[in-house]
Structure 1
Amino acid sequence: MTKDVIALTPKMPDTRSLLAGLHAGGPELSLTATDDGAVIQLCTAAGRPLVSVEAPLLVHVPGEAERLLGPQVTAPEPPFWWTETRASTAAPEAESLAGSVCGRLTMLLGGTTWPPGAAHTARVAVPDDATHDERTPTPPSTPDDDRTETAAPALPAVDVLTDSTAVLLADRPLVPLTAWLSDILRTTARTNRALHLVTPPHVRLTLPLRTALSGAPNRWVIQNPAGGYYDGLSGAQLTWQDGTFTPTGSAAADAFTAAATPAEQRQLTVSFRTVHAADSELVLGRALEAAWQHLTGAPPAGWGTAEPVNLPWSPRQLTDLARDRAPAPTHLIAVGAPGRPAVATHRITRTTAGVAQDTTLTLGYATPAEVPLDALESLAATLVHEHDLTTMLTTLRNARADLTLPSHLEAPPLPVSFTLGPRDIRAIGLTHARRPPLATKPRQLGAPTYPALHYPLGDGTDPEAWSALQNLANHLKNGPGVTSSAQLPS
């Protein structure tokens, strides 16, 4: 049973409609604002948070509601307003309260509420003695060790906060990297805590959230129906101990290895870096746009800093944001048009060489025949010639075409090709770089006097491609002019 309720309205939630929604629990409840006012919380008289309401977001990108909430959702035509609420797992009245908040918004503004059937407009009575369960609220059982757990007033919608870990409980079919999740990730990193997202096994993650949770000490924790917990990315069995989830052994949980991905579906991932001299005329995002256009026939549909992705694609607006945030790095998400599964994460950083852009673009295909492997060399040539490419690694794997991540074992990606840009080829030495221990000779790209090299590695079906990539990396690292700054595969 989900604890998130979302109102999708064609009109902006104004002060009057928001007040009507927030009055769903009656005058006995209090309001608090967190995160510079971006999140409002409905609380009991004792100050316990019941429902967190995020600032409404104007979504211009077609298909975002369907991508994140499912094809059955009947969202208004873009642009529309997305108002997300999250009910506390500690009070049984909280979910109904969130449904009344969103139901009142859609009654006044039109639109629809997700999940279907959650909306209503009745007042929700909250007992005066509503209490907060200090243990990890992961139904149907809870960890027994709660010695280090405390309330989490600085982290909106966190279920449990310990000295080492912030625990979030989510139960919706697809969990995206929302703005509040991004804020919590930044706060936990700043306070040297881990973020552990706890879900039932049917829950899936979007690729941006999977990327955000893949680095230690963060985890995706699955509550095993057979008892216990396991890691949703590795399958490692976990236990709640000393205020955090920790591995209990090397064997993967049976529930993680039992399920299978549809055999025909594929994900093609193109990871590349470009480096440009810092210049007032530089426009960022052009390489990402070129790759998207090359592989799909259209540019990205939208971009943003979190999900839902809400802004129409605009390299100049993207550049303005990165300039405002400099010298701090900027992390962005881009999505494709409806019917063409494509998601990218994009990181912009200042380096000693200039402005670096690291992009990971993943595209989904229903069958292997649809994967455009024959377009990769020409894509590499375009990025070398027009966008100062330094490296590009392409992989293919058997995985869901809708680009969501289930909590079970999926096939690992297999290398298809690697491209090394002119700067590192010159440093390594062209003669050495063009003679790797590979069955297929590299293709020379770009200017003859300052070339890049494109190394074919396989068709995405042979696991030996990993050995070929490792042999290539060892060969390039032993080049006469290689330096520690060279961007070589590891």
Structure 2
Amino acid sequence: MTKDVIALTPRMPDTWALLAGLYAGGPDLDVTATADGAVIQLCGHGGRPVVSVEAPVLVQVPGEIARLLGTEAAAAVDTPVWWTETRASTAVPEAERLAGSVVGRLTALLGGASWPPGATALDVVPVTSGLAAVPAPSDALPAVDVVTDSTAVVLADRRVIPLTAWLSDVLRTTANTNRALQIVTPPHAQLSLLTRMALSGAPNRWVVQDTDCGYYDGLSGAVLRWQEGTFAPARTQSGAAHVARAFSRVTASKERQLTVSFRTRYDADDDLLLGRSLETAWQLLTGAPPVGWGTAEPVNLPWSTRQLTDLARSRVPEPTLLTAVGHPDRPAIANARITRTTAGVEEDITLTLGYGPGETVPLDAVEALAAALVAQHSLTTMLTTVRPARRDLAVPSHFESPPVPVAFTLGADAVADTTLTHARRPPLPLRPVQLGPSTHPALHYVLGDGTNAETWSTLDVLTQHLKAATEPV
């Protein structure tokens, strides 16, 4: 497994501290930079990376250290804290000790703590395994363990696999080179919700090691084999895939997750502030706004609609992908995609909140949320779902029940396109609630309470009915 070692320091690692850390490999290793200088690599003479050190990130958001590294790591430091991540190559036996020595030197100079506990040292770790004789491939990705014509494989062993800036860059690079990204972990590892979303689309995959079947897909349960340079489902003689027993071992839990996915559209105005619709949703569902935002994990910036708007403006015409988190007392995370279109500026947002066995999922607030988004944020559509799943929002490598629809909201412009008469009369035993002014109303359809999976069929009938009114004859 690739070994990640993280320095958590109260002071920013300056040039001299980084040099002291990089000298942990002695004078025989070369130093290079990738990702526009955001990643420094200690390399063998042939250019093969041994240890990669990412640019330090100032984490100012409470709860992020505990969410990603655990409560023990969070108790050892105070927020704000500088997070410096090192990654050791699996191709070199000495690399893990070298990464620990780099981090140990940083924490010795700057104070703070390291993760995982006990992984650091201060000694010089010379690389003597003959790495220099192996040239780096021309299309090498930083700290990727295996690269084939079709797949980039990352071996990871940590409590939660976050969608870091490095992993986001690997995802973009593999997509640009028509490769799949496959992350291989031991069974105890979990994905962050953002990493799970990133791996949910083909051809990317979460590969879980298993003593029984070898490997299986952590999201689908399909038993996998390494075949022709990639992990692919192992087929029976009839061509069918089969599910790993470990994936099916599920313990009943009363924890639940509420997810609201909505789209808003605005005119491209100089005074436009983005992120306000997400702030409204967070406030109505939790009683407080988000506490932090960023473009990767750990989420590092205090919540600011002005700063995220400035970032989105700077990236036009390219879309902007953002992440937001809430206070640790109420686990919540959102991802947002902001796009400039011919119709204006669109926000596509998915907000997920976690609830424990003794906590009430605020389904009674969903209609009020829909009304607020219609009145203040030009809501286009909103889908609300509930499912049994972990309160902390981490994704385990076993089966989790799919979400069940609770409500669907159609914005005023979409109602007008469909016609109010048609939209109010779906071929179903339900009648929508009208939101907004009668001259330009939106419609809110209550589908159920999140306990009956058959409401997916109800939603399908509803959406087909609404779609039929806008299709050309």
Q: TM-score range by the shorter chain?
A: over 0.9
Deviation at 1:396? 0.4
The corresponding residue for 2:258 is 268
* 1:330-358 deviation line (CA, Å, top 9, x unaligned): 11110111221000000001222111100
User: How far apart are the structure 2 equivalents of 1:165 and 1:438?
Assistant: 46
Does residue 85 in structure 1 map to residue 71 in structure 2?
A: no
User: How far apart are the structure 2 equivalents of 1:307 and 1:132?
Assistant: 36
Matches within 5 A, 1:87-486: 87-127=88-128, 129-130=130-131, 151=137, 154-249=140-235, 250-367=240-357, 369-479=359-469, 482-483=470-471
User: How far apart are the structure 1 equivalents of 2:405 and 2:246?
Assistant: 24
Deviation at 1:133? 9.5
Does structure 1 retain, via aligned residues, the 8 Å contact 2:407–2:448?
A: yes
Does structure 1 retain, via aligned residues, the 8 Å contact 2:93–2:129?
A: no
User: How far apart are the structure 1 equivalents of 2:123 and 2:471?
Assistant: 67
User: How far apart are the structure 1 equivalents of 2:88 and 2:19?
Assistant: 18
Residues 252 and 352 (structure 1), Cα distance of their counterparts in 2 relative to 1, 3 Å cut: farther
Matches within 5 A, 1:55-70: 55-70=55-70
Deviation at 1:245? 1.6
The corresponding residue for 2:28 is 28
Does structure 1 retain, via aligned residues, the 8 Å contact 2:2–2:157?
A: yes
Structure 1 counterpart SS, 2:208: strand
Residues 426 and 401 (structure 1), Cα distance of their counterparts in 2 relative to 1, 3 Å cut: same
Q: Report the residue type matching 1:287 in the other structure.
A: S
Instruction: Identify which range, 230-239 or 390-399, moves more after superposition.
Output: 230-239
Structure 1 counterpart SS, 2:405: strand
Identity rate, percent: 66
The corresponding residue for 1:139 is none
Deviation at 1:278? 1.0
RMSD over aligned Cα, in angstroms? 1.8
Does structure 2 retain, via aligned residues, the 8 Å contact 1:2–1:172?
A: no
Q: TM-score, normalised by structure 1?
A: 0.92
Residues 229 and 152 (structure 1), Cα distance of their counterparts in 2 relative to 1, 3 Å cut: farther
Matches within 5 A, 1:35-74: 35-73=35-73, 74=75
> Which consecutive aligned stretches of 4+ in structure 1 deviate over 6 angstroms post-superposition?
131-134
Does structure 1 retain, via aligned residues, the 8 Å contact 2:258–2:353?
A: yes
The corresponding residue for 2:8 is 8
Residues 31 and 52 (structure 1), Cα distance of their counterparts in 2 relative to 1, 3 Å cut: same
User: How far apart are the structure 2 equivalents of 1:400 and 1:242?
Assistant: 36
Deviation at 1:261? 4.9
* 1:251-277 deviation line (CA, Å, top 9, x unaligned): 443334332254200010000000111
Deviation at 1:126? 1.9
Structure 1 counterpart SS, 2:416: helix
Does structure 2 retain, via aligned residues, the 8 Å contact 1:304–1:311?
A: yes
Deviation at 1:50? 1.1
Instruction: Identify which range, 123-132 or 109-118, moves more after superposition.
Output: 123-132
Instruction: Identify which range, 176-185 or 36-45, moves more after superposition.
Output: 36-45
Does structure 1 retain, via aligned residues, the 8 Å contact 2:174–2:180?
A: yes
Structure 1 counterpart SS, 2:329: coil
Residues 131 and 236 (structure 1), Cα distance of their counterparts in 2 relative to 1, 3 Å cut: farther
Does structure 2 retain, via aligned residues, the 8 Å contact 1:261–1:399?
A: no
Residues 133 and 398 (structure 1), Cα distance of their counterparts in 2 relative to 1, 3 Å cut: farther
Does structure 2 retain, via aligned residues, the 8 Å contact 1:176–1:208?
A: yes
User: How far apart are the structure 2 equivalents of 1:242 and 1:160?
Assistant: 13
Does structure 2 retain, via aligned residues, the 8 Å contact 1:266–1:368?
A: no
Residues 125 and 314 (structure 1), Cα distance of their counterparts in 2 relative to 1, 3 Å cut: same
For these two proteins, the number of residue pairs brought into alignment is 467
User: How far apart are the structure 1 equivalents of 2:116 and 2:331?
Assistant: 23
Deviation at 1:153? 5.4
User: How far apart are the structure 1 equivalents of 2:186 and 2:137?
Assistant: 23
Structure 1 counterpart SS, 2:384: strand
Q: TM-score, normalised by structure 2?
A: 0.95
Structure 2 unmatched ranges of 5 or more: none
Deviation at 1:161? 1.1
Structure 1 unmatched ranges of 5 or more: 135-149, 485-490
